[in-house]
Structure 1
Amino acid sequence: MARRIGTDDPWTTTGAQLVAWAGTQTWARETRRGRRTTFRAFWLYGIEAGLTTTNAALSLPRVKPAPPMPHPTPDTVFQVAMRRADERERLMLRLAADCGMRRGEIAVAHTDDVYEDMLGWTLIVHGKGGKRRPVPLTSGFAAVLRSQPHGYLFPGDDDGHLSPRWVGKLITRLLDGDWTIHSLRHRFAARAHRVNRDLAVVQDLLGHASPATTRIYVATDDSDRRRTIEAIAS
């Protein structure tokens, strides 16, 4: 970044220079938000390390998040993928579509993560930042997972399991169009929100730290908004 601005040294880059350079970039809104967060953290590191006394990134204006744009895989695309898939791939598809798991979470899923308590069967999902979250399972899907050989559900050469990249590649090539394994997570979120309108429940199931992130995955239904207005007016 400093070289592109022409200063060569980020610690001598001023806030005005950073703002002027960032303003010429053709980044999407979410990319711009991410870069702002990264720059602020980088200069904070510089201050803590004694490399500079000012955070030039504080000059960057706040970027509002984009309106929610859910991107759930259509049922028809999912069903076609299920028919194309082999047994291992069908299990990956179900973990993404029925449990809302990310590709990295699917890659490290283990038979020891399935357990039963007084309420039923649950899968412990190993999420980002080492966080773990429980996702309830139907008895039928729990039986499928418990029938797998003990160990990682998808053995491979990445510390004993498949790499997240390979999991994503396997699933994406089964899905027609521009749908990806992450759009299956959107599908899960949309279906979960349709059944339970409590956003906090969907947030917990997805493992999001903020409800604002969950809102990106679910869209409110026009009929719900209309019923709300009609109920208020009655």
Structure 2
Amino acid sequence: MTNTNTSSPAWAKEIESWRVAMKAMRLSPQTIELRTYHLRRLARAQLAESPWEVSRADLLEWTGKHDWRRETARAVRSSFRRFWAWGLSTSRTKDNVADVLPMIRPEQPQPRPASSTVVVTAMKDADARVALMLRLANELGMRRGEVAQVHPENDLVHDLVGWALVVHGKGSRKRVLPLPDDLAQLLRDAPSGYLFPSPDGGHLSPHWVGTLVSRALADGTTMHQLRHLCATEVHEQTHDLRLVQTLLGHASLATTQRYVAVDDSKVRDAIAARSHRWSSSRSSGE
């Protein structure tokens, strides 16, 4: 049984049972880990001896007192609502107390691509392992969880055009990304097993991959901002938003639009050029 690091055996037992249920649903390891992490945090608060004894008032108060970012709060709410819905469906409880949690509107994030200068500096200073993480995130727009899972023996494919990488995305969705020749060679030359192995025999956790890359980037830049940079530069090069959507593995085109930054100077130039055309039209009409 996975150690849930809780003080109550009842919480540990129910969280582990839910983990098994989520595996049966074929949810991704990242989703399962995130949802169980949220429950372990709640368990450590010791609101009740078991999750099915938690009251609506206590659950609402506990979630409300945390100063989380909007997206984090949305994720926690989703985890709790799904957990208690599972408890209800499996007759563990007769009351879905998580339905007291209010809906949280999603934030409208602005594209925030990493600075090219920061990335170049990080690539020069990083060791070979972190430099490879940087390349996968920057050149292919891969998420930290996707980078963590790369297994060259299983994920490299070759066709008439060249080498490509099978990327294991969110929601167990896979996509295939073409590889630059030199990056493909690095993956082909890698030792067997996961590209970034952990001491326990699996792969490094997505959290640790993100931490290593963020440390290399420094200046507060995160690994996810490399994904924004990739999206922005590929869009500038191709002007094809659907292509960027495929590259990033987004289910929704609206999500992709939030990743693509627009150069303010180009907006200014476009407005000025259009204004000039209208000025010319007014002059010719006078």
TM category, shorter: 0.7 to 0.9
TM-score when normalising by structure 1: 0.76
In structure 2, relative to structure 1, the CA distance for the partners of 1:131 and 1:157 (3 Å cut) is farther
Q: How does 1:50-199 map to 2 (within 5 A)?
A: 50-112=91-153, 113-159=155-201, 161-199=203-241
CA distance in 1, matches of 2:47, 2:201: 42
Measured after TM superposition, the shift of residue 80 of structure 1 is: 0.7
Measured after TM superposition, the shift of residue 122 of structure 1 is: 1.3
CA distance in 1, matches of 2:116, 2:109: 21
CA distance in 2, matches of 1:55, 1:230: 57
Deviation readout 1:140-172 (Å, 9 max, x if unpaired) = 432343344454434442425444444334323
- 1:203 aligned residue (245, 252, 272): 245
Contact 1:100 1:186 in 2 (8 A): yes
| SS of alignment partner, residue 216 of structure 2 | coil
Structure number with larger C-alpha Rg:
2
| Unmatched tracts of structure 2, length 5 or more | 1-41, 282-286
| Equivalenced residues, count | 233
| SS of alignment partner, residue 163 of structure 2 | strand
Deviation readout 1:195-229 (Å, 9 max, x if unpaired) = 34444332332223444543443334554598599
Contact 1:68 1:219 in 2 (8 A): no
**Relative contact order, CA 8 A, sep 6+: which one is greater?**
1
Measured after TM superposition, the shift of residue 6 of structure 1 is: 6.7
| Unmatched tracts of structure 1, length 5 or more | none
Contact 2:113 2:261 in 1 (8 A): no
Which of the pair is proportionally richer in strand?
1
CA distance in 1, matches of 2:99, 2:202: 43
TM-score when normalising by structure 2: 0.65
CA distance in 2, matches of 1:202, 1:18: 40
Contact 1:100 1:185 in 2 (8 A): yes
Contact 1:5 1:21 in 2 (8 A): no
RMSD (Å) for aligned C-alpha atoms: 3.6
CA distance in 2, matches of 1:65, 1:94: 30
In structure 2, relative to structure 1, the CA distance for the partners of 1:149 and 1:35 (3 Å cut) is closer
Question: Which one-letter code corresponds to 2:131 in the other structure?
Answer: R
In structure 2, relative to structure 1, the CA distance for the partners of 1:166 and 1:57 (3 Å cut) is closer
| SS of alignment partner, residue 199 of structure 2 | strand
In structure 2, relative to structure 1, the CA distance for the partners of 1:47 and 1:190 (3 Å cut) is same
Deviates more, 1:95-104 or 1:57-66: 57-66
Among the aligned pairs, what percent are the same residue? Answer: 47
Deviates more, 1:123-132 or 1:175-184: 123-132
